[in-house]
Structures are given as C-alpha cells and as structure tokens.
C-alpha cells in the first residue's frame, strides 16, 4: 500500500497517472537540464553524467586467468579478420561490421560466444541454436579455456564475419523493367 495516500484517497486510473507523468516531464523541461534517455534521471546543465559505464575492461575484470587468456585470444582472432567495431553493450562485448556478427557474454565460469550465421552448426561445441531473424541463426558456444579458441570455432567466426560479403555477392541485381512473358491464349482458337 502506498504510504503517500491518506485514507479515503481514491486510486488513480492509468490515464491519470500518465497525465501526471507528462505534467512532471513538462515541468522538468522548463528547468535547466535534461532527462537521460538511458536511466531517466534528471541531469542539470553542465553536470557530468555517465550511467552507461560498461566497458570491455569492466566486463572482463572478474574473470579467472584461464578465461582472461581465452578472451584475449578470442579478441585477437577477431581483430585479424579485418575492419570492425568492438564495443561493450550491457552485459556483452559486441563485434560488428555493419551489424553484429558475434558477441561474447563473460560469465563466472565460461565465455558465452554467440555467433550469427545463416545456418545451424551441428557440432559438440554448440550448446544451442536460436533463430533471430528470417535469415540469421545464433549458434551459442561456451568457452572455458584458451585452447578452445581454435578451428572449428575460429572458422565459424570467420564465416560470420564474411557473411555480409557472400550475401551481397549472391544477390542478383533487380532491373526496373519486368520481363516479358508470352501471352496466354484464352482457350479460343481462330479458325
């Protein structure tokens, strides 16, 4: 029970609550500052605010030595593929070109590696496979030691990195003109 309400105070409907929230936001907008779109906290003008402090180092600090070695080898392997963006987001470290091709979730006893491919990989290293879109499946692998970061896992990572190139090469160019089809006969013959 809400202690702010006195006895006999009616409960507010959801539309009344929304209306009060909108009114409160309008009042805050008149004040100098802004509302953080991540944490919804009010930040005064000129005040430093960093609610999104996730970094690779923060996510990998608590790992055991074996897992840190495995992480370093995994990262080095991915960097060798070529130009890409590596960044921390939430509880994962993302590896992306135009879109994410794999990410790593550091856990207490393993690294959960999620690789986006156009197919389901059938191998003992793959824990499970989930469909994420019409054309992509995520293959989930658990890594516990540096020696596990070798083929076939590195091959799957390379395949995921190259997937956009292969899909672009495979797509035929569409022409603006429609191909002419032979006309159907209406079933009547001219005699």
Q: Are 32 and 71 members of one domain? A: no
- Nearest to 25, CA basis, from 14, 15, 34: 34
> What is the number of other CB atoms lying within 10 angstroms of the CB of residue 152?
14
In this structure, is residue 191 part of a structural domain?
no
Q: What is the mean pLDDT of the chain?
A: 83
Q: What are 61-102's pLDDT values in tens digits? A: 999 999 999 999 999 999 999 999 999 888 999 999 999 999
Q: Give the least confident one: 25-34, 135-144, 153-162.
A: 25-34
Let me know if residue 7 belongs to a domain: no
What is the Cβ-side half-sphere exposure of residue 100, based on CA atoms within 13 angstroms? 19
Residue 38 shares a structural domain with residue 70: no
The residues, ordered by sequence, that sit 6+ positions from 140 with a Cβ below 8 Å of its Cβ are 112, 113, 114, 115, 126, 127, 128, 129, 130
Choose among 60, 62, 56, 74: nearest CA to 147.
74
Based on the domain organization, do 127 and 33 belong to the same domain?
no
User: Against a cut of 0.85, is the pTM above it?
Assistant: no
CA angle 17, 15, 40 (to 5 degrees): 45
Does 156 share its domain with 114? yes
Residue 188 lies in a domain: no
Range(s) of the domain holding residue 32? 14-44
Q: Flag whether 109 is in a domain.
A: yes
The CATH number for 131's domain is: 3.30.1460
C-alpha distances out from residue 138 to 40, 146, 152, Å: 32, 22, 16
Lowest mean pLDDT among 9-13, 56-60, 83-87: 9-13
Asked whether residue 113 is domain-assigned, the answer is yes
Same-domain check for residues 37 and 77: no
- Which of residues 74 and 188 earns the better pLDDT score? 74
When pLDDT is cut at 50, 70 and 90, the band that residue 1 belongs to is very low
Whether residues 79 and 142 fall in one domain: yes
Task: Give me the number of domains the chain comprises.
Answer: 2
Tell me, yes or no, whether 18 and 88 share the same domain.
no
Would you say residue 29 has pLDDT above 70? no
Contact criterion met (CB below 8 Å) for 139 and 117: yes
Mean pLDDT throughout 14-30?
Answer: 69
Contact of 101 with 135, CB cutoff 8 Å: no
Please list the residues that pair with 88 across neighbouring strands: 93
pLDDT band of residue 20 (cuts 50, 70, 90) is confident
Instruction: Find the angle CA(78)-CA(119)-CA(77) to the nearest 5 degrees.
Output: 10
Considering the domain architecture, whether residues 124 and 153 belong to the same structural domain is answered as yes
Percentage of the chain beyond pLDDT 90 is: 51
Q: Determine how many CB atoms are found less than 10 A away from the CB of residue 122.
A: 8
């Amino acid at each position: 029970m809400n202690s702010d309400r006195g006895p006999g105070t009616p409960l507010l409907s959801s539309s009344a609550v929304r209306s009060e929230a909108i009114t409160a936001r309008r009042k805050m907008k008149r004040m100098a500052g802004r509302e953080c779109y991540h944490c919804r906290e009010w930040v005064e003008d000129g005040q430093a605010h960093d609610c999104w402090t996730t970094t690779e180092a923060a996510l990998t600090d608590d790992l055991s030595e074996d897992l840190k070695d495995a992480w370093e080898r995994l990262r080095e392997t991915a960097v060798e593929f070529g130009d890409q963006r590596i960044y921390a987001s939430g509880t994962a470290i993302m590896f992306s070109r135009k879109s994410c091709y794999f990410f790593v979730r550091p856990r207490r006893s393993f690294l959960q590696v999620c690789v986006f491919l156009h197919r389901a990989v059938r191998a003992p290293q793959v824990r499970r496979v989930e469909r994420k879109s019409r054309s992509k499946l995520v293959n989930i692998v658990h890594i516990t030691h540096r020696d596990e970061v070798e083929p076939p896992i590195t091959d799957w990572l390379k395949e995921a990195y190259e997937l956009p190139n292969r899909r672009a090469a495979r797509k035929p160019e569409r022409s603006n003109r429609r191909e002419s089809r032979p006309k159907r006969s209406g079933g009547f013959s001219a005699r």
